[in-house]
Amino acid sequence: MNGTLLFQAVAVSIFCYLGALSTPWLLGLTGGWYTITRPLVSGMIVGLILGDLKQGILIGVAIQTVYIAMVTPGGQMPADLNFVAFPAIALAMLSNASTEVAVTLATTIGVLGTIVFNLYQVVNSFWNHRAVAAIQEGDYRKFRLNAIAGPQATNFISRFLPSFLVVYFGSGFAKTMLDSMPQYLIDVMSYLGGVLPAIGIAMLLTAVVKENSLFLFFLLGFVCIVFLNLNMIALTIVAGVIAYLYYTGSSKKGVVTPNGVVDEEDEEEF
C-alpha cells in the first residue's frame, strides 16, 4: 500500500464527484461542472494535490484547448469532461507524460467515460419515478430523498469509484506503459495532441456559426495572434471594440446594406 498515492487518489476522486454534471454542492452546474471541471481549473487542483502546481496548470491549459467549447445540449456528451478533468489529468501527471501525450490520454479516457454517464442517467429513471410517486402521496420528505439523496448516492459511486481505480492502480501501469512505449507511438500521440484542439474549436464553430461571414472575425483573431503577436488580453480588447462597432452599426436601421443584419433579422421574425 502506498499511503501518499492512496490519499492523492481519494482527494482527486472526491473532486471528481464534486465537479460532476449532476452534483449540487458547489451551486450546481455553476461552481461544479462549469468551474472545477474545466481542465484549466482542475489542472490547478490536481497539481496542488499531487504537489506540482505549475505542471498541473500547464497540463490543464493544454487539455483545456481540446474542450474549450464543449456544449452539452440535452445532456448529450461527446466526452465525459469530468473524467478528463480529474483522473486523466492526475494519471498524466503521475506518469510524467508530456503535455501532448497527456492530451491524447485524456481524450481517450473522456470518450470511455460517457458510458458511465449514460448508465447514471438510466439508473436515475428509477429514482425519478419514485420521486413523482412520493409527490402523489403528498410525502415531500420522501420526494426529496428520491430526488436528491438517491441520485447523489448513485452519482458519488459512479464518479468516485472509476476515478479512484484509475488513479490508484492506473498510475503505475501508465508509467510503465509510457516508459516502454516505442518512440513511434509517442510521436504519433504528440502529433495527435497538437491537432486535437482543432476538433474542439471546430465543434464550437459548428455550434455558433450560423452565417459564413462570421469566419472573417475568426480569421481576424487568428491573424492578430500569428502576425501581430498580440496576447489574449489585447486580442479580447480589440474584439470588444469590434463587437461594439458591430452592435452600434446594426442598431441603425436603413444604413445597413441589403445583405446586412436588418434583413436577416426580419427573416427570423417572420
| 98 contributes a contact to other proteins by CB under 8 A | no
User: Residue 3 CB: number of other CB atoms within 10 A?
Assistant: 7
Sign of CA dihedral 215, 99, 57, 9: positive
The region of 9-17, 88-96, 164-172, 231-239 touching other proteins under the rule CB under 8 A is 231-239
| 144 contributes a contact to other proteins by CB under 8 A | yes
The answer to whether 15 and 164 have CB atoms below 8 angstroms apart is no
Q: Which of 124, 142, 175, 260 binds other proteins (CB under 8 A)?
A: 124
Q: How far is the CB of 7 from other proteins (least distance, A)?
A: 22
Q: Which of 14, 44, 116, 161 binds other proteins (CB under 8 A)?
A: 44
Q: How far is the CB of 270 from other proteins (least distance, A)?
A: 13
| Region 160-179 residues binding other proteins, contact defined as CB under 8 A | none
Nearest to 93, CA basis, from 124, 133, 47? 47
The region of 1-9, 58-66, 82-90, 169-177 touching other proteins under the rule CB under 8 A is 58-66
Question: Which 3 state secondary structure label does DSSP give 232?
Answer: helix
Nearest to 85, CA basis, from 39, 34, 137, 18? 39
| 60 contributes a contact to other proteins by CB under 8 A | yes
Distinct helix (H) and strand (E) counts, the chain: 12, 0
Q: Which of 8, 13, 37, 64 binds other proteins (CB under 8 A)?
A: 64
- Cα 112 from chain centroid? 14
The answer to whether 104 and 197 have CB atoms below 8 angstroms apart is no
Backbone angles phi, psi at 154, to 5 degrees: -60, -45
Q: How far is the CB of 168 from other proteins (least distance, A)?
A: 26
Q: Which of 8, 13, 37, 65 binds other proteins (CB under 8 A)?
A: 65
CA distances (Å), origin 104, targets 29, 59, 181, 188, 195: 26, 12, 14, 10, 10
DSSP H helical segments within 19-146, as ranges? 39-50, 53-66, 81-83, 89-94, 99-137, 140-144
The region of 3-11, 49-57, 88-96, 163-171 touching other proteins under the rule CB under 8 A is 49-57
Here's the x/- map for other proteins, 190-229, by CB under 8 A: it reads as -xx-xxxxxx-xxxxxxxxx----xx-xxxxxxxxxx---
Q: In terms of CB distance, is 6 or 54 closer to other proteins?
A: 54
DSSP code of 211?
A: S
Compute, in degrees rounded to 10, the torsion defined by CA atoms 163, 82, 87, 195: 140
Q: In terms of CB distance, is 14 or 250 closer to other proteins?
A: 250
| Region 6-25 residues binding other proteins, contact defined as CB under 8 A | 21-22, 24-25
| 157 contributes a contact to other proteins by CB under 8 A | no
| Region 240-259 residues binding other proteins, contact defined as CB under 8 A | 240, 242-244, 246-247, 250-251
Q: How far is the CB of 166 from other proteins (least distance, A)?
A: 20
Q: How far is the CB of 167 from other proteins (least distance, A)?
A: 21
